[in-house]
Amino acid sequence: MKVGFIGGGNMGEAMIAALCRAGGRDCAAGGENFTEDKENCTASGENSAHDGQNFMPDTQSFAACGQNSANLEQNFTSRERDFACAQSGSDTKLQVLAYARSKNEALRKRYGVQILQDETQLAHAADIIVLATKPASYEGILHLIAPELAGKILLLLAPNFKLEYAQNIVGADVFVARAMPNVAAGIGASATALCYGEYFDETSREIVRALTAKIGKFYEIDEAGFAAFTGIAGSLPAYVCAFIEAAADAGVRGGLPRALCYDAVAAAVEGTARLLQSGRRPSELKDAVCSPAGTTIEGLAALEAAGFRAAVMAAVRISPSFSGCYPRGR
């Protein structure tokens, strides 16, 4: 199973790092066992498939594709075989390929990935193509690589490039999906949204799920929710870092070393996140920490007086991909 990355931006490189870390530095030589981790994919309902939105294979959809259906059906058989190997834990290999123009040499040295000569060669060689360039270049690249994509999986990382538009460019015989990871993908801790195009079959979904599980948690949602997800998860690391930096500044102001402040605040944020992931509610934890007339409730009052909640909601709302998602003035 060859996964090819076109582009090496923050999200693309983070995914490359996670995949190569999962398989060691031999990923260019196919040293990764591409096995589905069902605990990562489904345990505790953490990877929440959107209610009622599961798209099961539809033979009528295949038939409607005319001549393209032959490509789909042939590739479907191949993917059934590949995924059966993945489920049984056998030796299906994951090989990472890349073409990222000026970043080619850096990616090769850093991760040991195989570098291809151009976008077309990569699309021809890979089974899964991850488009990780700037959104402005998507349309031109899709037109360029479309002849190489029949029966393959195309994963789009742009926050606002619609599935239907991409599908119209590449054709009905390509399995098009969107993913919205965040920078924590590089350490296998991303919160990633997934949605699938009209012609996506269940076997190809399972392959995408298994791949995405290697970079963290994933959530299958409607495409209409992608803008909101970008605000609460894609952009959130920047907001959290701003909070951590501000809290650390306060610690330095109180006489503590900056390195200690960064580490202590990050540990406190991580511990709180783990408590929430154990099933505790944010309001419950907040109330447990706030004693009557105590320092914590006074601190929360200071945050509210400064418009903390409103500022966070405004930041999420004006995330770059949020244009037109919410009516202005409400």
What band does 84 get if pLDDT is binned at 50, 70 and 90? Answer: very low
pLDDT category, 90, cuts 50, 70, 90?
very low
Instruction: Please give the C-alpha separations between residue 75 and each of 3, 235, 251, 267, in angstroms, as whole numbers.
Output: 16, 35, 57, 46
The pLDDT of 305-318, averaged and rounded, is 91
More confident residue, 54 or 115: 115
Q: Encode pLDDT of 128-149 as tens digits.
A: 999 999 989 999 999 999 999 9
Q: Is the pLDDT of residue 259 over 80?
A: yes
Give the residue-averaged pLDDT of 267-288: 94
CA dist 17 → 59, 78, 243 (Å) = 37, 27, 26
Rounded to whole angstroms, the Cα distance separating 1 from 3 reads 7
Q: State the span(s) of the chain assigned CATH 3.40.50.720.
A: 2-223
Token couple for 87: 């489920």
Residue 81 binned pLDDT confidence (cut-offs 50, 70, 90): very low
CATH 1.10.3730.10 in the chain, residue ranges: 234-322
How confident is the model at residue 158, as a pLDDT? Answer: 86
Reported as a single tens digit per residue, the pLDDT across 167-207 is 999 999 999 999 999 999 999 999 999 999 999 999 999 99
Q: How many CA atoms lie within 13 A of 108 on its CB side?
A: 11
Q: Mean pLDDT over residues 301-308, rounded? A: 94
Mean pLDDT of the chain: 80
pLDDT at 12 > cutoff 80: yes
Q: Return the number of other C-beta atoms located less than 10 Å from residue 252's C-beta.
A: 13
The three-state secondary structure class of 191 is strand
At 319 the pLDDT is: 63
In the chain, which ranges are E strands?
2-6, 32-33, 93-99, 114-115, 128-131, 153-156, 175-180, 190-196, 216-220
Residue 297 is predicted with a pLDDT of 94
Q: Quick check: helix, strand or coil at residue 306?
A: coil
Burial 279-311 (b: 16+ CB within 10 A, else e): eeeeeeeeeeeeeeeeeeeeeeeeeeeeeeeee
pLDDT value, residue 142: 97
CATH topology of domain 2-223: Rossmann fold (3.40.50)
Q: Provide mean pLDDT across the span 288-302.
A: 94
The predicted pLDDT at position 121 comes to 97
User: In the prediction, which pLDDT does 71 show?
Assistant: 42
What CA–CA distance (Å, rounded) separates 303 from 58? 52
The per-residue pLDDT for 321 is: 47
Q: Does domain 234-322 have CATH number 3.80.30.20?
A: no
Read off the pLDDT of each residue in 77-84 and give the average, rounded to a whole number. Answer: 37
With 50 as the cut, is the pLDDT of residue 53 above it? no
Q: Looking at the predicted structure, is the pLDDT value of residue 211 above 50?
A: yes
pLDDT at residue number 23: 67
Position with higher pLDDT, 57 vs 100: 100
Give the CA distances from residue 147 to residues 130, 164, 243, in Å, rounded to whole numbers and listed in that order: 16, 18, 47
